[in-house]
Amino acid sequence: MFTQGWLLLAWFLIAVGVATRHAFAFLLGLVVLGSAAASYLWDRYCLARVEYRRAFTPRRAFYGETVTFTMEVTNRKPLPLAWLEVVDELPQQLVPLYGRVIPSVRQRRHHLVNLFSVRWYERVRRHTTLRCDARGYFPLGPARLRSGDIFGFTVRGIDSEHVDHLLVYPRVVPLAALGLPALHPLGDVRRRHLLEDPTRIAGTREYSPGDPLRTIHWKATARAQALRSKQYEASASHRLVIFVNLDTLGRYAEYRGFVRPLLELNIMTTASIANWAVESGHHLGLFANGYLPQGLRWVRILPAAGTSQLASVLEALAKIFPTPVMPIGDLMQLEASALPWGTTAVVVTAVTDDPLRVGLARLADAGHATVVILIGDEVAPPDVAVTTYRVPEARGWQALDGIVPQTIRAAEGER
């Protein structure tokens, strides 16, 4: 760095050169003085009017996919930059396939480093491919920009505090990989649930043993002096809701963390069922006892049809925090009465406890067919007569071919 001593030396050489008419001393003084002025100029203005931004293509991705990360720097001044270093902070779950990467002092973060030169009024873009190694809602940034004079004597840095987010959806696999039967993948989904719309009453019929109490038409029963049940109009759509239990430790009241393999296998199973439901034309809903970044309330997505509904469900599963705000059984009791009659409830859980059993009984009393999918090898089946499947840990949730679930128990209607 050119200090005051260098400036005094430059003026001294110039003075000596003029006094003695020594050209070499005079020119050497000018060189030192010009270098000091250039160093000061670059040190003061090198990062002025320098803009940095990042972009992704695509803006959203699924687990295991790659995205193109584009870094763009614009120098909006006549002063060129001999060198510019950009250090952008990324989560470790987003892995650059090429480029220089260094560790970060922050946990589960690393830095992507780019070094290049920028001419006056020039825009420079650098592209890097990132592999998405986990689902989630990942912040990228802040970034650190460093530059200096052309001699490397001075270095100046600024921080770009702008943070972008990349949404990575959870992995989706075919239901066959989850071991669910091809003809009746959701267990006890009775034909009347699929073909009758409980909101549209067409008439009455004779009461059949097993008809829920809420389907009895009491006025028709009084007139006919015999039990009569409501006859519903046909409907091609079926409502399916998924209850997701984010508790993987089995001790909600003493929550201290989560078991990551069970949690990710839980979310992958939920995403796969949601994808199948929408592709099959069902109305899909999601309830989870975790919460989203927007607030501490549980996840509540009411049943609806279409790919936009699937996108909402997958986005919630990507962003969800693994901290349960209540036992899943309590959530099932809260939502059971609000669900339309005949809705099929799929409960995905790595824990069975008393609140879960009470919640399953409440769903049955409300007239909803229920399927339980157990996540992991150690969780015990609930002591309730519902269709139950198990998704074992196998070789882990990251292995596509390592998921071979088995049927544990079928409901009484399927035995």
Distance CA 332, CA 151 (A): 68
- Please name the amino acid found at residue 168: V
Distance CA 254, CA 260 (A): 17
Angle at 258 (CA atoms; ends 254, 263), nearest 5 degrees: 135
User: Which residue has tokens 């090429």?
Assistant: 98
Distance CA 24, CA 367 (A): 100
Structural tokens at position 392: 């074992």
User: Which residue has tokens 């995205």?
Assistant: 67
Q: Are 39 and 2 in contact (CB under 8 A)?
A: yes
Closest by Cα among 386, 322, 317, 321 to 350: 322
Provide the pLDDT for residue 29.
Answer: 64
Provide the pLDDT for residue 189.
Answer: 46
Q: Are 342 and 234 in contact (CB under 8 A)?
A: no
Strand order in the sheet with 164-169: 60-62, 164-169, 136-140
Provide the pLDDT for residue 392.
Answer: 83
Low-confidence spans in the chain with pLDDT less than 70:
1-14, 16-18, 26, 28-30, 32-37, 152, 179-202, 210, 232-237, 251-256, 394-415
57: buried, middle or exposed (CB in 10 Å: 19+, 13-18, 0-12)? exposed
Structural tokens at position 217: 């038409």
Distance CA 245, CA 288 (A): 6
Provide the pLDDT for residue 415.
Answer: 35
Closest by Cα among 149, 112, 128 to 56: 128
Closest by Cα among 80, 83, 89 to 147: 83
SS (HEC) of the chain: CCCHHHHHHHHHHHHHHHHHCCHHHHHHHHHHHHHHHHHHHHHHHCCCCEEEEEEEECCEEECCCEEEEEEEEEECCCCCEEEEEEEEEEECCEEECCCEEEECCCCCEEEEEEEEEECCCCEEEEEEEEEECCCEEEEECCEEEEEECCCCCCEEEEEECCCEEEEEECCCCCHHHHCCCCCCCCCCCCHHHHHEEEEEEEEEEECCCCCCHHHECHHHHHHHCCCEEEEEEECCCCEEEEEECCCCCCCHHHCCCCCHHHHHHHHHHHHHHHHHHHHCCCEEEEEEEEECCCCCCEEEEEEECCHHHHHHHHHHHHHCECCCCCCHHHHHHHHHCCCCCCCEEEEEECCCCHHHHHHHHHHHHCCCCEEEEEECCCCCCCCCCCEEEEECCCCCCCCHHHCCCEEEECCHHHC
Structural tokens at position 37: 């002025």
Q: Are 258 and 246 in contact (CB under 8 A)?
A: yes
Provide the pLDDT for residue 348.
Answer: 95
Distance CA 131, CA 398 (A): 14
pLDDT digit string (tens) for 350-397? 999 999 999 999 999 988 889 999 998 889 999 888 989 988 886 445
Provide the pLDDT for residue 254.
Answer: 54
Provide the pLDDT for residue 234.
Answer: 46
